[in-house]
Amino acid sequence: MEQREPIIRLTNLGKEFKTANGTVKALEDINLDIYAGEIFGIIGLSGAGKSTLVRCINYLEAPTSGDVVFEGTSLKSLGRAGINQARKSMGMIFQQFNLLSQRNVLRNVCFPMELQKTPKDEAVKRARELLEMVGLSDRENAYPAQLSGGQKQRVAIARALATNPKVLLCDEATSALDPNTTKAILQLLKEINRKLGVTVIVITHEMGVIEAICDRVAIIDKSHIAEVGAVSEIFSDPKSAIGRQLIMGDTVHTDFGDSKLVRIIFDGRASNEPVLSNLILACKVPVNIMYAATKDVNGTALGQMIIQLPKDEGEEKRVLNYLATAGIPYEEVTRDDF
């Protein structure tokens, strides 16, 4: 099989910050390959090192150890001019948009092209094309203060694409947006990836963002990569403790104490239904299974299950109401009953 070359390869990358209180190891021994054309997610808790990692990828921060290899060239080996050149191939968007408030939408998108000394009419033409792609053609004269968060991020995306980058780095690009706007911006990023072939790197602390658009994901925890893989694989079978925590959520801690016990009687009908799952989903409370047994009587599954209800009175009542409403026979029991 043909071996694909990564567009970005991080080798033993480390980053330390010297502070008044000592040295902070923000990244340690990061090894990662990102391939051209993919949407790659990097997820982790606050302070894990995500922003530092993207800032090292485009050399806004120089790594303290290891290397960033971009399209086969070690950035470490390049001088300032070479690094600037590589950086032009990597657009970036942020949570707080970072638009220039004194410039209107069109002139914000033109800004990076001005820096590159692109002739004005050419820049304006390109900016208008990009604004059309992000769905903001009719707002080119508006100022950032007159736009919604979602619109501001669309302008930022158009601006980031103005210099035809090969990679788009998105650091918590949807974290300040409501769920619907988030969805729309993620769809736009996917469209840009598919239409323009731009490699997209998405930094987030939200699993939903990864699930919505990423092909592969790296989970970063306390300055290290905990695991990397296809989103479908990591979601179905996270190997690391942090992966399990991010994907499955924290275990629910409910106080059961010496709370009420209830025996549910399964007749033939109820045995085909996921009685307990339905109960938990409907009542949104966990229950504790204390005992369960089934018997086959003349082809009918008869059984009982003793469950412990939450200690909270309201939650207990919800469960009992549910059982009564759903017509599931039950009786209260004591510990001596089984």
Length of the chain: 338
Contacting range for Mg ion; rule: CB under 5 A; set: 49-57, 83-91, 263-271, 312-320? 49-57
> Which phi and psi angles does 22 have, rounded to 5°?
115, -165
| Residue 46 CB, nearest approach to ligand ATP (Å) | 3
Q: Taking a C-beta distance cutoff of 8 angstroms, is the pair 155, 94 a contact? A: no
In the chain, the amino acid numbered 225 is: I
Look at residue 19 and give the partner it binds from ligand ATP, Mg ion, none, a contact being a CB closer than 5 to 8 Å depending on partner kind.
Answer: ligand ATP
Q: Which of 10, 48, 49, 51 binds Mg ion (CB under 5 A)?
A: 51
CA atoms of 110 and 98, how far apart (whole Å): 15
> Which phi and psi angles does 164 have, rounded to 5°?
55, 55
Token readout for 81 is: 């001019």
Question: Which string of x and - marks every residue 180-219 that binds ligand ATP (by CB under 6 A)?
Answer: -------------------------x--------------
Question: Which string of x and - marks every residue 17-36 that binds ligand ATP (by CB under 6 A)?
Answer: x-x----x-x----------
**Nearer Cβ to ligand ATP, position 50 or 152?**
50
Which is it for strands 199-204 and 167-171: parallel, antiparallel or unpaired?
parallel
**Nearer Cβ to ligand ATP, position 54 or 134?**
54
* Residues contacting ligand ATP: total by CB under 6 A: 13
Map residue 290 onto helix, strand or coil: strand
| Residue 231 CB, nearest approach to ligand ATP (Å) | 19
Q: Which residues from 40-99 bind ligand ATP, rule CB under 6 A? A: 44, 46-52
**Nearer Cβ to ligand ATP, position 40 or 330?**
40
CA atoms of 235 and 211, how far apart (whole Å): 8
Contacting range for ligand ATP; rule: CB under 6 A; set: 39-47, 106-114, 287-295, 326-334? 39-47
> Of 37, 69, 71, 91, whose CA–CA distance to 214 is shortest?
37
| Residue 16 CB, nearest approach to ligand ATP (Å) | 9
Look at residue 131 and give the partner it binds from ligand ATP, Mg ion, none, a contact being a CB closer than 5 to 8 Å depending on partner kind.
Answer: none
Query: Which contacts (CB < 8 Å, 24+ apart) does range 114-117 have?
Result: 116/88, 116/163
57-70 burial, b at 16+ Cβ within 10 Å, e below that, comes to: bbbebebbebebbb
**Nearer Cβ to ligand ATP, position 23 or 271?**
23
> Of 259, 97, 85, 273, whose CA–CA distance to 177 is shortest?
97
Q: Does 199 bind Mg ion (CB under 5 A)?
A: no
> Of 275, 279, 296, whose CA–CA distance to 287 is shortest?
279
Report the residue closest to Mg ion, judged by CB. Answer: 51
* Residues contacting Mg ion: total by CB under 5 A: 2
| Residue 236 CB, nearest approach to ligand ATP (Å) | 25
Q: Is the dihedral of CA 46, 47, 53, 56 positive or negative?
A: positive
Q: Which residues from 29-48 bind Mg ion, rule CB under 5 A? A: none
Residue with tokens 């938990």: 280
Task: Output Rg (C-alpha) for the chain, integer angstroms.
Answer: 27
| Residue 47 CB, nearest approach to ligand ATP (Å) | 4
CA atoms of 123 and 161, how far apart (whole Å): 12
Look at residue 24 and give the partner it binds from Mg ion, ligand ATP, none, a contact being a CB closer than 5 to 8 Å depending on partner kind.
Answer: ligand ATP
Contacting residues toward Mg ion, per CB under 5 A: 50-51
Contacting residues toward ligand ATP, per CB under 6 A: 17, 19, 24, 26, 44, 46-52, 205
